[in-house]
């Protein structure tokens, strides 16, 4: 059902956890199947220095969370904004058709976290 890449990221997820006083936090929940994903960013000089996630969901949901955090770690905010759901799924070697909606979670949560970071920056100004 899942590719080896998916299973690897599922069994050994990268960047699980939380960041205290994160620069930005984004949470999305897909009401349809009850999965929830939260991403924490630590941003310094416009660069994502650290990223953590917590996810309640299926194997695909956890693997996409892990892969998304891997893909943006060390990237600039602008680069991170370019990450698409499809890119995450592709990086995992594809997802089963009925699981494509899970891959929408990760990039969406990330974009929300970046929006939260930007809002916080604006508030500081």
Instruction: Give the residue numbers marked as catalytic.
Output: 33, 102
**In 3D, which of 3, 11, 88, 75 has the Cα closest to residue 41?**
75
Candidate ranges 52-60, 73-81, 84-92, 113-121; the one touching other proteins (CB under 8 A): 52-60
Q: Residue 35 or residue 116: which is nearer to ligand FES going by CB?
A: 35
CB atoms within 10 A of CB 114: 23
In the set 22, 89, 92, 102, which binds ligand FES (CB under 6 A)?
Answer: 102
Q: According to the binding rule CB under 8 A, does residue 118 interact with other proteins?
A: no
Task: Write out the residues near ligand FES by the rule CB under 6 A.
Answer: 33, 35, 57-58, 60-61, 99, 102
């Amino acid at each position: 059902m899942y590719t080896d890449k998916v299973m690897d990221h599922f069994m050994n997820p990268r960047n699980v956890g939380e960041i205290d006083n994160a620069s930005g936090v984004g949470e999305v929940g897909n009401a349809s199947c009850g999965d929830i994903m939260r991403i924490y960013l630590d941003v310094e000089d416009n660069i994502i220095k650290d990223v953590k996630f917590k996810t309640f969901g299926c194997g695909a949901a956890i693997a996409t969370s892990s892969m998304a955090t891997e893909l943006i770690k060390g990237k600039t905010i602008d680069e991170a904004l370019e990450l698409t759901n499809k890119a995450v799924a592709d990086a995992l070697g594809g997802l089963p058709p009925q699981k494509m909606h899970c891959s929408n979670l990760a990039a969406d949560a990330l974009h929300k976290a970046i929006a939260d970071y930007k809002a916080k920056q604006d508030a500081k100004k």
